[in-house]
A and B are shown apart, each in its own frame.
Chain A
Amino acid sequence: MHYLAPDEKGYFGRYGGRYVPETLIPALDELTEAYLHYKNDEEFQRELNYYRITFAGRPTPLYYAMNLSYALGHQVFIKREDLCHTGAHKINNALGQALLARRMGKKRIIAETGAGQHGVATATACALLGLECEVYMGAEDMQRQALNVFRMHLLGAKVIPVQSGTATLKDATSEAIRDWVTNVRTTHYIIGSCVGPHPYPMMVRDFQSVIGQEAREQILAYAGRLPDAIVASVGGGSNAIGIFYPFIVDEGVRLIGVEAGGHGLDTDAHSASLTTGEYGILHGSASLVLQTEDGQIRLTHSVSAGLDYPGSGPEHAYLKEIGRAEYVAVTDEQALGAFLWLTRHEGILPALECAHAFAYLQTLGQELEPNSVILVNLSGRGDKDVQHVAQILNTAENAESTPD
């Protein structure tokens, strides 16, 4: 198939655009122009590639998950983004944007973070390039992800707690945008996912599509053919779009995004915006958004801080609309189950975010012809989640051992 998106105004079909205060429009114009210039600039690409290889540890391996394959009766390949420097795919985008910011002469960087992985990646890129870095993080997330907060401090970044709303990623993003509106002349805002106003969804996708480009070559070499399905977790959706994008033209490859179903889609406590959301405008672009009848943004829940967000990138909404990608949700409990299974049986501790992708494999496995080739994006490692998971397991254990 032929695929060319977004259009010049940043639209993926009816999704995308620039719904931001007027103050930011000239900065977005400037950013778009700089990005499109450096995207085709050999020297910039050489520089980015140099840091990807020597600093970030690319290419990441593609791993044939033997035990998982045996259990499912399929060939499961895992793209090991968890082996990237800083422990997640977020470094791909942070490095790209930080290098771009330096070329644009911006010396101050701001970012929002949910799980803290994007914050850590941004703080890392800033430490490397000598840029000032401030990260907005929900106060609730700072508790859930205390280790990453400390890492950011060590890297020289200032972490600013956000108390408003639910004190999670949504509120951290709003606060980062407010900072950018105020300091736009000196500051570049490194958005961590394929959300926000144009050119962010396109630019973040492009920086992340290195995942899919590598995976495509690797799977052709190892399996001798394209995969039957690609599975990735989706919050904002950057790891998913990164691995999907180079395969969009391959119509035989099913693209499956797995969202956070929280306590279940029949409750209000989930973050499955692509599965259950409706057309809406949040944080600068039109997409599928969890909202009330009155157009107020809904509170969300997920066991994983990185997926706890009421929207998703406009390109995902578009891929769903044109029927090119499918979006499903798994619950907190299913994700925890997959977290434990993968750790015990593959020796890989996945981030709770990616555990959602693995949790869907059982359902998917039953739909596919036996011995199908499945590619899963393991976008980050789970070390940051160990304490959180330990708490959940202890609580569950205590509940079980309490006599009625």
Chain B
Amino acid sequence: MRLEERFSELKARDEPALIIYITAGDPSLEQLPDILHLLEDSGADMVEVGFPFSDPLADGPVIQSAMFRALQRGTTLPKVLEMVARCRGALRIPLIAFTYTNPVQRYGFERFAKEARSAGFDACLMTDLPPDEADEWLTYARAHQLQPIFLLTPTSTTERIRLVAERGEGFIYCVSRTGVTGARDQLPPDLPDLVARIREHTDLPIAVGFGVANADHVRQIAQIADGVVVGSRIVQMIHEGAQAGNDWRPIADILRAFKDATRL
């Protein structure tokens, strides 16, 4: 399992994983391989590849717009799988499929698990599929060794934490705050308590995301968690980079700064 290997490699160096989220198809699906290589080369330890959905109700304005643009350009679930399959061989980092449930159920849970795995995805997270609803999905995800990742949030009870610890694989995605995705000025003060509360019930690595926008946030999370997820900030920079004639240097720079911040 590539996720475990990567986490244990990093753990040996006492470094948390830098996990980057992008929306596939923005600015274009053809550029996905280049962007994945850019992220890998600049310090990303794992990448969450977002599949665009018309009604992303867990996402804030930045990712909503990225998904809208991706869909307008004709991005579909099978096309994303195809593109990932094409460039996977040259990438070393683990890839996580990040999606809403409807496009996947429409494609077929079993077919998606099988094809996402063979395209080279290591894990999959469905934002609107809590573990209680995931029986069918779990059967197929496990059968095809696509690790199912679930989320926990500040509202999660001990019972929910136990359920996710039991059903989840790869890592636990800890949502830093109540709310949708999007960069914020500050991390919530009760975040260390939340991570500690989850830690009591699991040996799985814990990655913190939502609202992570700068190196300072990354540094703070690095002290308490096994991974830190940056999404909207990078999605916004990819959009701006595309508008500036595909200038990706600012992204490479910020990723290096983030990676450095995980090492402190």
- Which of chain B's residues has its CB closest to A183's CB? B178
Q: Label chain A's interface by main secondary structure.
A: mixed
Binary contact track A19-54/B, C-beta < 8 Å → 1, others 0: 111111111000000000000000000000000000
**With contacts A21-B58, A22-B160, A294-B76 known, is A181 near B178, CB below 8 A?**
yes
Instruction: Let me know if B77 and A295 touch, CB within 8 A.
Output: yes
Instruction: Let me know if A281 and B152 touch, CB within 8 A.
Output: no
**With contacts A26-B155, A165-B54, A182-B179 known, is A280 near B150, CB below 8 A?**
no
- Segment at the A interface, from B1-9, B33-41, B129-137, B233-241: B129-137
Q: Does A284 make an interface contact (CB < 8 A)?
A: yes
Chain A residues contacting B64 (CB-CB under 8 Å) are: 164
Binary contact track B38-71/A, C-beta < 8 Å → 1, others 0: 0000000000000001111110100010001001
In Å, the complex CA distance between A294 and B106 comes to 7
In Å, the complex CA distance between A236 and B133 comes to 23
Q: Label chain B's interface by main secondary structure.
A: loop
Q: Does A357 make an interface contact (CB < 8 A)?
A: no
- Which of chain B's residues has its CB closest to A295's CB? B106
Candidates B55, B175, B180; contact of A22 at CB < 8 Å:
B175
Q: Does A69 make an interface contact (CB < 8 A)?
A: no
- Segment at the B interface, from A170-178, A211-219, A343-351, A369-377: A170-178
- With an 8 Å Cβ cutoff, the count of chain B residues facing the other chain is 40
Residues of B within 8 A of A (CB): 53-58, 60, 64, 68, 71, 76-77, 100-107, 127-130, 132-133, 150-157, 160, 164, 175, 178-180
Residue with the highest number of chain A CB atoms closer than 10 Å, among B60, B105, B155: B155
Q: Does A225 make an interface contact (CB < 8 A)?
A: no
- With an 8 Å Cβ cutoff, the count of chain A residues facing the other chain is 36
- Which of chain B's residues has its CB closest to A296's CB? B54
Instruction: Let me know if A296 and B103 touch, CB within 8 A.
Output: yes
Q: Does A297 make an interface contact (CB < 8 A)?
A: yes
Residues of A within 8 A of B (CB): 9, 17-27, 164-165, 170, 174, 177-178, 181-185, 279-284, 289, 291, 293-297
Q: List the 6 shortest-distance A-B pairs measured between CB atoms, nearest first.
A: A295-B106, A295-B103, A182-B179, A296-B54, A23-B153, A22-B151
Candidates A21, A26, A165; contact of B127 at CB < 8 Å:
A21
- Which of chain A's residues has its CB closest to B180's CB? A178
Known: A174-B57, A184-B178. 13 other contacts (CB 8 A): A20-B57, A22-B164, A25-B156, A165-B55, A170-B55, A178-B60, A181-B57, A182-B178, A184-B155, A185-B178, A280-B105, A283-B55, A295-B77
What are some 22 contacts across the A-B interface (CB < 8 A)? Answer: A9-B132, A19-B133, A21-B57, A22-B151, A23-B155, A24-B155, A25-B132, A25-B155, A178-B60, A181-B57, A181-B58, A181-B180, A185-B178, A281-B128, A284-B128, A293-B106, A294-B77, A294-B107, A295-B53, A295-B77, A296-B103, A297-B102
Instruction: Let me know if A182 and B180 touch, CB within 8 A.
Output: yes
Chain A residues contacting B151 (CB-CB under 8 Å) are: 21-22
Candidates A17, A25, A185, A283; contact of B57 at CB < 8 Å:
A283
Instruction: Let me know if B104 and A295 touch, CB within 8 A.
Output: yes
Instruction: Let me know if A27 and B155 touch, CB within 8 A.
Output: yes
Instruction: Let me know if A281 and B175 touch, CB within 8 A.
Output: no
Instruction: Let me know if A18 and B133 touch, CB within 8 A.
Output: yes
Chain A residues contacting B100 (CB-CB under 8 Å) are: 281
Chain B residues contacting A174 (CB-CB under 8 Å) are: 55-57
- Which of chain A's residues has its CB closest to B152's CB? A22
Chain B residues contacting A23 (CB-CB under 8 Å) are: 153-155, 175, 178-179
Candidates A17, A26, A294; contact of B103 at CB < 8 Å:
A294
In Å, the complex CA distance between A291 and B102 comes to 9
In Å, the complex CA distance between A295 and B128 comes to 14
- Which of chain B's residues has its CB closest to A177's CB? B57
Instruction: Let me know if A21 and B128 touch, CB within 8 A.
Output: yes
Candidates B104, B105, B154, B160; contact of A25 at CB < 8 Å:
B160
**With contacts A20-B130, A183-B178 known, is A297 near B54, CB below 8 A?**
yes
Chain A residues contacting B164 (CB-CB under 8 Å) are: 22
In Å, the complex CA distance between A183 and B128 comes to 18
CB of B131, distance to nearest CB on chain A (Å): 8
Instruction: Let me know if A25 and B128 touch, CB within 8 A.
Output: no
In Å, the complex CA distance between A294 and B100 comes to 12
Instruction: Let me know if B101 and A19 touch, CB within 8 A.
Output: yes
CB of B65, distance to nearest CB on chain A (Å): 9
CB of B120, distance to nearest CB on chain A (Å): 21
In Å, the complex CA distance between A241 and B128 comes to 26
- Which of chain B's residues has its CB closest to A278's CB? B106
